[in-house]
Structure 1
Amino acid sequence: MDDFETWDESSVDLPDITAATCGRVVDRAADRAILVCGTGAGATMAAHRIPGIRCALANETYSARQAVEHDDANAIAVGAWLVGKAFVPLITDEFLAAQFDDDDATRRRVEKLDAMNPPRE
């Protein structure tokens, strides 16, 4: 596990942290990325700019699991201001344990998503 957390209260730019975290997935050094920002929205938007990343906003366990099973999400964003600390491990555990439903319909949909923002070769 790579941790790109900031360790002090100095200002940090979300696109930089998102690029570093998701870059590990794009480079195949990691299978998945977990992003945290205030609401999760900014991290999700930043991640969507990175070719090959399929990021879902997951402020509860159902979305975390469904994003992988139905959309082959390789990243999630969690809103630190919205999700209680006790729930974060539950959300991340669901995300990491979920498996893609590798059937024709879901594979076809993911291929269409990837065509909109192709992964790097």
Structure 2
Amino acid sequence: MIYLGADHRGFQLKGKIKAYLGEQGLEYQDFGNDHLDEEDDYPDFAKEVAMRVMGEIREMRENRGIVICGSGVGVSITANKVPGIRCGLGFNMDQVKQAREHDDINCLALPADFIGEEEALDIVDVFLKTPFDNQEKHRRRIEKIE
């Protein structure tokens, strides 16, 4: 399962990502906002997504979260407040590939104001398809931050 959340600045991009996930036959749940509201607050959606991802991890499921705001920073900070979440801010495919391989990120923050739709979809694809490389040094580093 892929959990999604976005504020008003990420709302349109989230719609494109939902369409893409549907085309790929991937299951997702949208935790808001369900309508464009210029006064909504990104922490509401990012926290809900992060909590859902962690609930699934506790049940030994490999699920992921995608959170979106204008800069990607606010949702990343919020998601990372949830114990066990490793949310990485994704600006390009190579960076996200490395974040999955080395840091085993389980949540992706996207900056809707700074990347285009096609680039965002490519980043999402890399996030979902790249496995953690499971090297001892990377496991050790992750354990130090958990």
TM range (shorter): 0.7 to 0.9
Which residue matches 2:140? 108
Find the counterpart in structure 1 of residue 46 from structure 2.
18
CA RMSD in angstroms, aligned pairs only:
1.3
In the superposition, the TM-score normalised over structure 1's length comes to 0.88
In the TM superposition, what is the alpha-carbon distance from 1:30 to its structure 2 partner?
A: 6.1
Q: State how far apart, in whole Å, the 2-side matches of 1:8 and 1:95 are.
A: 26
**Residue 6 in structure 1 maps to residue 33 in structure 2:** yes
Would you tell me which structure has more strand in proportion to its own residues? 2
Task: Quote the residue 2:131 is aligned against.
Answer: 99
Among 107, 126, 136, the alignment partner of 1:75 is 107
Aligned residue pairs: how many?
114
What code does the residue aligned with 2:110 have? V
Unaligned ranges ≥5, structure 1: 115-121
- Counterpart of 1:27 in structure 2 is 55
Give me the whole-angstrom Cα distance separating, in 2, the residues matched to 1:24 and 1:9: 22
Percent of aligned positions that are identical? 36
In the alignment, the residues of structure 2 paired with residue 17 and residue 6 of structure 1 have an alpha-carbon distance, to the nearest angstrom, of: 7
Q: Show the counterpart of 2:18.
A: none
SS at match of 2:31: coil
